[in-house]
Structure 1
Amino acid sequence: MKTINLIYSLLGLVLVTSCEPAFLLKEQSRKLSDYSSVSYDLPNKLEEISGLEKIGDEFYGFNDSGGAAEIYKFTSKNPIEITQTIKLSNASNVDWEEMAMSDKHLFVGDFGNNLGMRSDLKVYYFPRKNINTSLKEQSVVVDTIEFFYPEQEDYSKQVYNHNFDLESMVYFNEKLHLFTKEWGSFKTKHYTIDLVKGKQPAWLVEDYDLKFLATGTDVIELNDKYARLGMVGYTTDGDVYMMLTDFKSSAKEWLNNPKTIIHLGEAGDVGQVEGIAFIDQDNVCYSAEAITWEDKSRKQNLTCISLK
């Protein structure tokens, strides 16, 4: 009798430890047409939209290198309109590439580094409570986090041929998580930095053979144990992808889990995709800069898809 009970106990242990929750993503390759989606053109002022976040019923975005040091709030219904401009009064836009947010702060990543030469990588941030939604224009004062990669020794000009470009950032578990855009390897490295002023090293957590250039990232909690990471990017041949993966919230490494890879299309058809924002675990939106690719052109746009 004891032997039988032991067998059933061991069997129950195997079943519990080997089964994952049913909602977790499985390894699969899909295409955009497999899902329901809707796409809207964005105003001309957002022609080079890069970062993307959603707060309440509206989105926040900005333009990348050379754009004004401004964040634009815009509606989520067609036709899309800009409803507020937030000026970062003590910041400049060398190459803004990504936006992230916590419950308390909004973060802007000025760390685009196509040439591999930058030694002034930084993240601006300010309290979300400082946004006065009743104003069409306002200014905010920001604090600054500066960082560097301990692994980078060569700062010479390397046009699209190095592994220290960066366009992806999320806030999670009281840290900022960075995902590199690697022109040399087509991998991505996952780094973390702390929310402290001044200059600090970015600490390497993991690397993953992504096989495309990471241009935007977002994360959403699924429950108290799991979270979902979304990443967008493209290949040098113009194929545009979204990668989704689920990970344990307590895990240090996030990328070595089953993934859903969605082929969004060709750059000439969908634009230069550089922003991503979850609405909830079943709905995600991405933004694209205007682009002319080969014999096709696509205006700047916002596309939302249902993952159900």
Structure 2
Amino acid sequence: MKLLSFISIAVFLTGCSNYGQLTFVTKLPKAVKENSGIAYYGNEKAWFVEDHGNDDVLYQIGFNGKILKELRVKNAKNHDWEDLTQDKKGNLYIGDIGNNANERKNLVVYKVPNPEIEPGNKIDAQQIEFYYPEQKEFPPKKDNLIYDAEALFHFNNALYIITKNRSEPFTGKTFIYKIPDTPGKYAAELVGEFTPCETARVCQVTSATISPDGKKLVILGYGFLWIYSDFKGDDFINGRLKTIDLGATTQIESVCFKDDNTLLVSDEERAKTGQNLYSYTLK
């Protein structure tokens, strides 16, 4: 047992390829080696974005790893795009919510129409600006670095943002905020908080998604899934929680539902590992 534990830790620290329980689907193209968000509309293809400093572009990629379409997003700037989500009408939301240093005052979610039916190579974005009313310092002290975020999902005509804890010392505490899904500028509403676990990095939230039937909220960390079900309204954290250790050691960054019981998961390229698309079936 001790030997197995040592090997697991060594694999994690060295960054060796280990997909754990994830099923490999395809190698992603270099254009999205820093992919940070994924959305699925059907037909064995998905949309991706990259994070900080990359192009203001949506990429449609088939499950064979080929780029099928690129859409430049107008009226938008990729400060730090960190997640994608969609609503029942087909609108797509791009979360420009990355805030590593906790000092941004220009947080925004971009709303674009259904990219699947966009005929050209550009798409218009509307802006949903927001701020955290609890944040008083930019940046706050190290023990209060709790205003970064990489997770965004849509539920019942609203957008939900789950923060990524960067506090020192690390506490693991994560907050769920709510904003309208219509253009404007809003104070984000704090609707819940929870602590996935207390081990730095592996317990940081990197993406989130809700099932098409609205019954399961999946929150992704570096190798973990936290699944909430049996919740009422948006009181997610008082639902039933199941934690899954995926056993994966790559830099997992994004998750979305393919159907009510199947997840699509992707990771960034790091140290010659990752940059892949995977699937995972919920038991």
Distance 1:124 1:36, change over 3 A: closer
Equivalent residue of 1:291, what SS?
A: coil
Amino acid at match of 2:55: A
Equivalent residue of 1:265, what SS?
A: coil
Pair 1:299 & 2:274 matched: yes
Amino acid at match of 2:95: G
Q: Which residue of 2 aligns with 1:279?
A: 258
Partners of 2:144 and 2:41 lie apart in 1 by 36
Equivalent residue of 1:45, what SS?
A: helix
Pair 1:75 & 2:62 matched: yes
Please report how far the alpha carbon of residue 159 of structure 1 lies from its aligned counterpart in structure 2 after TM superposition.
7.3
Pair 1:289 & 2:268 matched: yes
Write out per-residue CA displacement over residues 72-107 of structure 1, whole angstroms, 9 at most, x where no aligned residue.
00112x3x1110001102211000001110122110
Q: Which moved more, 1:82-91 or 1:159-168?
A: 159-168
Greater strand share, 1 or 2? 1
Please report how far the alpha carbon of residue 55 of structure 1 lies from its aligned counterpart in structure 2 after TM superposition.
0.7
Work out whether residues 109 and 124 of structure 1, in 8 Å CA contact, stay in contact via their aligned partners in 2. yes
Larger Rg: 1
Q: Which runs of 4+ in 1 moved over 2 A?
A: 35-40, 130-133, 156-161, 195-198, 256-260, 264-267
Partners of 1:242 and 1:73 lie apart in 2 by 25
Partners of 2:60 and 2:112 lie apart in 1 by 16
Q: Which residue of 2 aligns with 1:186?
A: 172
Once the two structures are superposed, the pairs formed by residues 104-253 of structure 1 within 5 Å of their partners are 104=89, 105-128=91-114, 131-132=116-117, 138-156=121-139, 162-184=145-167, 185-211=171-197, 212-222=203-213, 227-234=215-222, 240-248=223-231, 250-253=232-235
Amino acid at match of 2:172: F
Amino acid at match of 1:254: F
Please report how far the alpha carbon of residue 197 of structure 1 lies from its aligned counterpart in structure 2 after TM superposition.
2.2
Please report how far the alpha carbon of residue 46 of structure 1 lies from its aligned counterpart in structure 2 after TM superposition.
0.8
Q: TM-score, normalised by structure 2?
A: 0.84
Partners of 1:36 and 1:266 lie apart in 2 by 7
Partners of 2:259 and 2:97 lie apart in 1 by 27
Equivalent residue of 1:298, what SS?
A: coil
Equivalent residue of 1:196, what SS?
A: coil
Partners of 1:216 and 1:160 lie apart in 2 by 23
Q: TM-score, normalised by structure 1?
A: 0.77
Percent identity, aligned pairs only, is 28
Please report how far the alpha carbon of residue 227 of structure 1 lies from its aligned counterpart in structure 2 after TM superposition.
0.9
Partners of 1:85 and 1:252 lie apart in 2 by 34
Q: Which residue of 2 aligns with 1:265?
A: 247
Partners of 1:87 and 1:188 lie apart in 2 by 32
Amino acid at match of 1:303: Y
Partners of 1:90 and 1:160 lie apart in 2 by 35
Q: Which residue of 2 aligns with 1:97?
A: 82
Distance 1:288 1:265, change over 3 A: same
Structure 2 portions without partners, runs of 5+: 1-18, 198-202
Amino acid at match of 1:276: V
Structure 1 portions without partners, runs of 5+: 1-31, 235-239
Partners of 1:245 and 1:190 lie apart in 2 by 13
